[in-house]
Amino acid sequence: MKFCLENKSAIVTGGGSGIGKAISKIYGAHGAMVHILDYEIGLAEDTVKAIESSGGKAAAYQCDVSDGKSVKATIAKIVKQGHIHILVNNAGVAHVGNLELTEEHDMDRLYAINIKGVYNCMRWCVPYMKEKGGVILNMASIASSVGIPDRFAYSMTKGAVLTMTYSVAKDYLREGIRCNSISPARIHTPFVDGYIAKNYPGKEKEMFDKLSKTQPLGRMGTTEEVANLALFLSSDEASFITGTDFPIDGGFIKLNG
């Protein structure tokens, strides 16, 4: 079977919802043992149930990726069960606002999760991956590469994710660790629905359609589409790919403007 992950162990952070949940489910469907890390353990457990109900294997862990000690302890538990083949750094938070509408505590919060969280997970997975090789996928964003209005802090963190990806890919070539990133544009997730409901009550459909049309293809992407890309990049079929960012953006980066 193409893109088979049988006998492989995968860690997905933020796997309790949205893109992380979709990636966890597709990994499980293709044979991986999926270790789901999430701050909200209930959400992670729901994803585990969804994977197991389809015949897959998964486990849930409550973990704050911004806390190095928490990450180290969680990774140590997982390693006792076998080699870590795949790490997906998906956990992240957003902030809407330009420079003047971004407070210091906003910067600290996004740095802690979006940058330090990615660092923590790679820091404690890479030493184990060096033994037999592995794959790291970091969730960047189109905001890593192009200017997005009112995303000052978010763009800062995703730019860092992109450059961390390049650095790790370069430094661990000889250890057989491939490191790539995925840069989504607007993807239809519960976060998007919540944002629209909170900021545009009574105009949800109108705003959803408006945001969808900002992509040249005229719609938002789906979490399943991102998961399909993650599956390919994690598989042996992508063994010649490292140090690369993959936009999945409906043409946003190249065709807007």
- Residue 31, domain CATH: 3.40.50.720
pLDDT at 204 over 80: yes
Q: How far apart are CA 14 and CA 40, in angstroms?
A: 9
DSSP string, 210-255: HHHTTSTTSS-EEHHHHHHHHHHHHSGGGTT--S-EEEESTTHHHH
- Domain presence at residue 251: no
Please check whether residue 176 lies inside any domain of the structure. yes
What is the count of structural domains for the chain? 1
As annotated, the active-site residues are 154
Q: How confident is the model at residue 39 (pLDDT cuts 50, 70, 90)?
A: very high
Judge whether 138 lies within some domain. yes
Across-strand partners of 240? none
Mean pLDDT of the chain: 96
> Does residue 34 form part of some domain?
yes
Least Cα distance to 135 among 168, 102, 113 occurs for 168
pLDDT at 191: 84
- Written as six digits, the tokens of 167 are 């650095």
Instruction: Compute and round to an integer the Cα radius of gyration of the chain.
Output: 18
Residues 172-184: tens digit of each pLDDT: 999 999 999 999 9
Structural domain includes residue 254:
no
For the chain, the maximum distance between any two Cα atoms, rounded to a whole number of angstroms, is: 55
User: Does 228 map to a domain?
Assistant: yes
Q: Are strands 57-62 and 177-184 parallel, antiparallel or unpaired?
A: unpaired
Residue 44 lies in a domain: yes
| pLDDT value for 75 | 98
Q: Which pair of tokens denotes residue 228?
A: 């399909």
What is the pLDDT confidence band of residue 257, given thresholds at 50, 70 and 90?
low
How much is the average pLDDT of 3-11? 97
Ramachandran class of 169: left when φ > 0, alpha when ψ lies in -120 to 50, beta otherwise: alpha
H-helix segments, the chain: 18-29, 41-53, 68-79, 104-110, 116-129, 152-171, 190-199, 204-212, 223-234, 252-255
Domain span at residue 60? 9-185+220-239
Do the domain assignments include residue 67?
Answer: yes
Q: What is the pLDDT of residues 119-161, one digit of tens each?
A: 999 999 999 999 999 999 999 999 999 999 999 999 999 999 9
Residue tagged 């959803």 (tokens): 208
At residue 200, the pLDDT reads 92
